[in-house]
Amino acid sequence: MFEVYFESDSPAQTAEFGQKLGERLQGGDVVLLKGDLGAGKTALAKGIAKGLGVEQTLTSPTFTLIQEYPVRQYSDKTDPLGENGIVQKKITLVHMDLYRLHHPEEAEVIGVEEHFQPDKVCVIEWPEVAEEFLPEDALTVELAGSGDERRRILVFSRDSGWEARLGTINK
């Protein structure tokens, strides 16, 4: 089990934390954003997009449910077949907002699970309705607080592999 705790005093700090997180993500990652309305999930998602190198402005897909954004190429140092041990890969950021869904069957119908691919990073707001379809190694980010309150951000996963990538994120 991996777990890290942060605090944020503003939407800008929440986005900054998201950017640091986004810089550490890679294809195949699924990030679940949980929290009440106004907790900062979309601000965090915008920061993740920036950290991944998305050039478009990320908007909340509340009505479209799923929005895709191309990500600049990134270097995969874990693939030994590339030049100097580095392979350039392209990935897509898939941003989902499942707020308007009420039943797991709806998540299945819109194809939530189909996006869990090695060439995609999925960021899901309001993932609770799709829990039975979510991968076990997903990273969960819970935001607490709203309005002018300080945000408490808890990042955790059952997969301890996240510790190697995120262990220094608050440095």
Residue-level pLDDT at 90: 80
pLDDT value of position 171: 60
Mean pLDDT, residues 47-51 taken together = 94
pLDDT bin (cut points 50, 70, 90) of residue 84 is low
pLDDT of residue 167: 77
- Ramachandran region of residue 111, left (φ > 0), alpha (ψ -120 to 50) or beta? left
pLDDT score at 38: 87
Amino acid, res. 66: I
Is pLDDT at 62 greater than 60 in this prediction? yes
Would you say residue 164 has pLDDT above 60? yes
Separation between Cα atoms, residue 169 and residue 96, nearest integer Å: 24
Instruction: Enter the tokens of residue 121.
Output: 């990073």
Per-residue model confidence (pLDDT) at position 86: 53
**d(Cα 44, Cα 12) in Å, to the nearest integer?**
9
**Mean pLDDT, residues 33-46 taken together:** 92
The domains found in the chain, sorted by start residue, are 2-159 (3.40.50.300)
What is the pLDDT of the chain when averaged over all its residues? 86
Three state DSSP letters for 102-155: CCHHHHHHCCHHHHCCCCEEEEEECHHHHHHHCCCCCEEEEEECCCCCCEEEEE
pLDDT of residue 70: 87
Give the tens place of pLDDT for each residue, 140-159. 999 998 878 899 999 999 88
